[in-house]
Amino acid sequence: MTDIKAFSERVIDNLQKVIIGKRQSIELIVIGLLCQGHVLIEDVPGVGKTMLARSLARSLDCTFNRIQFTPDMLPSDVTGVSIYNQQTNNFEFRPGPIIGQIILADEINRATPKTQAALLEAMEEHQVTVDGETHILPKPFMVMATQNPIEYEGTFPLPEAQLDRFLLRLRLGYPSMSDEIRVLDDQQIQHPLETLKSVVNVEEILQAADAVKHIFISPELKRYIVQLTTRTRQSADVYLGASPRGSLALARSSQARAALLGRDHVLPDDIQALAISVLAHRVIVSPAARLSDLSPDRIVTEVIQATPVPGGEFASAQKNSK
């Protein structure tokens, strides 16, 4: 597990050259990379959402495409289109920007739901189908989407099916005064992104992602994860709870966090630390609860507090795994 920890630290240290004072958010991005999952970054404009995605792409030796979503964008603008070639008398596929390894979907909630849906197949099955022909996406494949809060004018809420395909959702928040002063100093002459170099290659990414799958997670902790997701579905304040995909995401991301911290096994702390980031965006609050300003984050927090943490049985299973 030392290799995964060293791999993660190289990426984190590189990202911190650009994104100041946000190590926890950066760790979530690296967890998403280790899980080969997709990440949704939601926050107000100007806090570094796009810069974080661009910094990750620079840190990895991968192809990078950016999609700037707008209300007039069509699904073919994302997936690509078949164009008739008069010289060969055949249709030729012109790939869209989704055909890449690290994809920045900037301001994703400014596109219409029809265009947002063009991402569904790519994010879940790592392929796109255009005019009946399937095109496999390269590995690794990761979508980093940014969105402004839905209260802002000109935004469309993401469909539940698309939200469910994001492994994690995170928020950056405003920097502290000292961190913001450091940002001013660092960018006075030249932006740090301009000199950022890649620190890992594709082979290292795939090896680390494969190693994460072998991190031990006990049967008791698997039961604990399922209990958490099940309770989100049973809450009276919830219209739609976390799906089984949420359970899978919480298990895999917990394995990645354990490896990032240098452990070969998952602890309850890993699950609790990631539960809000993994589950909250999958929870749709009921209209009555929304009127009471009850947020999905608070619902997941209450679920964590109400669910017993595995004790002696977990310790016994952990001991037997050694």
How many angstroms separate the CA atoms of 314 and 320, rounded?
10
pLDDT in tens, 224-233: 999 999 999 8
Q: Are residues 240 and 161 in the same domain?
A: no
Average pLDDT over residues 117-135: 86
Q: Are residues 27 and 57 in the same domain?
A: yes
Query: 32, 39 in Cβ contact below 8 A?
Result: yes
Structural domain harbouring 235: 214-322
Element (H, E) at 269: helix 268-279
Q: Are residues 117 and 235 in the same domain?
A: no
Residue 218 is part of a domain; what is its CATH number? 1.10.8.80
Domain C-terminal end among 188, 212, 236: 212
pLDDT in tens, 179-215: 899 889 988 888 888 888 889 999 999 999 999 999 9
What long-range pairs does 178-186 form, CB within 8 A, spacing at least 24?
A: 178/21, 179/20, 179/21, 182/20, 182/21, 183/20, 186/20
Residue 147 is part of a domain; what is its CATH number? 3.40.50.300
Q: Are residues 106 and 200 in the same domain?
A: yes
pLDDT, position 154: 63
* φ and ψ at residue 26, rounded to 5 degrees: -65, -40
Q: Are residues 148 and 114 in the same domain?
A: yes
Q: Are residues 64 and 190 in the same domain?
A: yes
Q: Are residues 19 and 126 in the same domain?
A: yes
The confidence band for 160, taking pLDDT boundaries of 50, 70 and 90, is: confident
Give the three-class secondary structure for 54: helix
Residue 51 has pLDDT above 90, yes or no: no
Average pLDDT over residues 135-142: 90
Q: How many domains are there within the chain?
A: 2
pLDDT, position 90: 84
pLDDT in tens, 101-121: 989 898 888 888 888 888 888
The confidence band for 319, taking pLDDT boundaries of 50, 70 and 90, is: very low
pTM of the model: 0.87
Percentage of the chain beyond pLDDT 70 is 94
The whole-chain average pLDDT of the chain stands at 87
Residue 10 has pLDDT above 90, yes or no: yes
Domain C-terminal end among 159, 193, 212: 212
Q: Are residues 207 and 241 in the same domain?
A: no
Q: Are residues 152 and 56 in the same domain?
A: yes
Token pair of 216 as six digits: 């031990």
The confidence band for 240, taking pLDDT boundaries of 50, 70 and 90, is: confident
Residue 316 has pLDDT above 50, yes or no: no
Residue 235 has pLDDT above 90, yes or no: no
Domain C-terminal end among 212, 239, 261: 212
Q: Are residues 77 and 146 in the same domain?
A: yes
Q: Which amino acid is at 209?
A: A
Q: Are residues 229 and 250 in the same domain?
A: yes
Q: Are residues 97 and 231 in the same domain?
A: no
Residue 150 has pLDDT above 70, yes or no: no
Tell me, what DSSP letter sits at residue 51?
H
The confidence band for 142, taking pLDDT boundaries of 50, 70 and 90, is: very high
